[in-house]
Structure 1
């Protein structure tokens, strides 16, 4: 019996290498932009804070994507791999938006010197090539990830079968559980992304809104962790509280969207309004999807899936070859008394599973 170990296959290794390489290149480009801007302007001024926030968010995003990729391979979770593709597309959009946001921060309507304009010799002209490289690298790496995830899809085809067996109903319930856990992980990143931008770029430490934002952090973290524990261990009272808190969090995101555009506060969000709007809408939609899937998972409680959820898909070696397969049901009582064994036979083709 041949055993398959974590990162032992070509698709797994190249998938992780792609994530690592694009992360290094993109972070190098973002750090270069930060260094150029830091040399030329005072980053403590409100209009320039979008640049350190840009760096902080990309560091967070690349670390998060790397951890999610390794976790998806460890769990052989195709659904999470698909989520990474969507997340990577989001990074491409974010990198493209940052070109506009950085220009809004660096180029003054009435520049007092050449550095504040957009012409030759300006700071904007210096950093523009590095800003353009980031979405290009992310786009090229996305295409590579599509190829490697396709390979992993076939490689992990039997993973869910090993967890819940061949029962279609159990398989469907387990897939919704996987989707729920995956959504909670991306909810965490979106919330941290919105909060980071608000605390670094926009809000003053002495404002009431700053206090509300700080207070929301432990509440939302408790919500996400509590929902994950509740859906895994099928704790009904904790799941009920989590679902109610999700609706409350949705109202918080609506409140923030209104604040971005209402006349009394829109000026303070000027340099980051586009990015904040995209992040907040995405967080709202993801949390709404989490609520809907959470209701479905709640309906599946006490139907025999808890053991599979708890002991689930930790990366155990999986047999990839069966040898001397007895197609005719031979046993010890057949002529010659030979017992059929699994050894040195033809490799089975992977079975496709829609996960």
Structure 2
């Protein structure tokens, strides 16, 4: 019942965004499935060994998961009236499109290197790969226009949630941006770990077990950050910031190893894509680190109480700092600040 009421109250631009995000997901999944079927049918050694040949399937899997993850971001952003997440979705869609572009050149190089059937397969999938990029580019442009209308439509919702105090509103924007970045961190970290394990490492490599352990540790750290942000826990946020700096050092180390002459044979054709993904990861980590410090600086200034009130956890208006009780016992509005 609550979901149906939320859909009815949703602005037209929001309904269009959700519909188009679903349509984009179906279109991309259909195109990617067609490409993968053609490649698997004509090139039989894709899964023959623990090698870089698996890049054909991994790139497609990343694009499909990115599209579904984007759909989750858009629906969540519209349902919650979260303009930060909606704008972030548009940027994420650009990132997914860039993965498709990289995939195009990587797959072309890999297929053309297969002298037996590569010259037969590439013409079959070339136009479909370009169509996948074109579909994502067109939808991204439309989402950018609709995001503007949603920004205007949801502006009043933000005002009702946090009030007219500009300081509180700035803190709330920092808070929502941090929540969005934690979601992006989840996708980026998990995508990098899976790609690195399957495309680069072998089960006998010492890094293999370390990289696998990196996944649950990363998820735990992200959960700690979200918990600390919601509870305004200084120790939790400082721990997250420290571990995030460690993650940045880890990605820098991985990037350096990719250009180590001794490791050249391990990466082969995967270096351009993995280097790009590593750079994106470092950019996301830097943005998350900046927002974590900004949110930490906002702890204790009333944002937590305001958010609890908007969620119905605190209904007593005497708990709002915009009110005070005078000497006669009457509650008055505080206009200071």
Q: TM-score band (shorter)?
A: 0.7 to 0.9
Q: Gaps (5+ residues) in structure 1?
A: 315-355
Per-residue deviation, 1:5: 4.2
The match for 2:46 among 43, 46, 60 is 43
In 1, Cα distance between equivalents of 2:76 and 2:308: 16
Q: What is the correspondence of 1:1-355 to structure 2 with a 5 Å cutoff?
A: 5-8=5-8, 9-41=11-43, 42-44=45-47, 45=49, 46-108=51-113, 111=115, 113=116, 115-117=117-119, 122-310=120-308, 312=310
- DSSP 3-state at the match of 1:264: helix
Distance of aligned partners of 1:159 and 1:211 in 2 relative to their CA distance in 1, 3 Å threshold: same
**TM-score (ref. length: structure 2):** 0.86
- DSSP 3-state at the match of 1:7: helix
Q: 1:106·1:116 contact (CA, 8 Å) conserved in 2?
A: yes
Per-residue deviation, 1:308: 2.9
Per-residue deviation, 1:297: 0.8
Distance of aligned partners of 1:127 and 1:292 in 2 relative to their CA distance in 1, 3 Å threshold: same
Per-residue deviation, 1:312: 4.8
Q: 1:89·1:142 contact (CA, 8 Å) conserved in 2?
A: yes
Deviations along 1:135-193, one digit per CA (max 9) or x if unpaired, are 10001101111121122111101122112111111111111111111111111111111
Deviations along 1:190-215, one digit per CA (max 9) or x if unpaired, are 11111121122221122111111111
With a CA cutoff of 8 Å and minimum separation of 6, indicate the structure with the bigger relative contact order. Answer: 1
**TM-score (ref. length: structure 1):** 0.82
Aligned-residue Cα RMSD (Å) equals: 1.7
Distance of aligned partners of 1:282 and 1:312 in 2 relative to their CA distance in 1, 3 Å threshold: farther
Question: Could you say which structure has the higher helix fraction?
Answer: 2
Aligned to 2:335: none
Q: Which has the larger radius of gyration?
A: 1
Number of positions where the alignment pairs a residue of Structure 1 with one of Structure 2: 304
In 2, Cα distance between equivalents of 1:174 and 1:124: 49
In 2, Cα distance between equivalents of 1:12 and 1:81: 10
Aligned to 1:327: none
Aligned to 2:318: none
Q: 2:189·2:281 contact (CA, 8 Å) conserved in 1?
A: yes
Distance of aligned partners of 1:267 and 1:7 in 2 relative to their CA distance in 1, 3 Å threshold: farther
In 2, Cα distance between equivalents of 1:47 and 1:233: 44
Q: Gaps (5+ residues) in structure 2?
A: 313-337
In 1, Cα distance between equivalents of 2:65 and 2:182: 17
In 1, Cα distance between equivalents of 2:157 and 2:150: 11
In 2, Cα distance between equivalents of 1:245 and 1:134: 37
- DSSP 3-state at the match of 2:262: coil
Q: Which runs of 4+ in 1 moved over 6 A?
A: none
- DSSP 3-state at the match of 2:7: coil
In 2, Cα distance between equivalents of 1:264 and 1:308: 55
Distance of aligned partners of 1:22 and 1:14 in 2 relative to their CA distance in 1, 3 Å threshold: same
Distance of aligned partners of 1:310 and 1:194 in 2 relative to their CA distance in 1, 3 Å threshold: farther
- DSSP 3-state at the match of 1:6: helix
In 1, Cα distance between equivalents of 2:311 and 2:264: 47
In 1, Cα distance between equivalents of 2:187 and 2:107: 22
- DSSP 3-state at the match of 1:166: coil
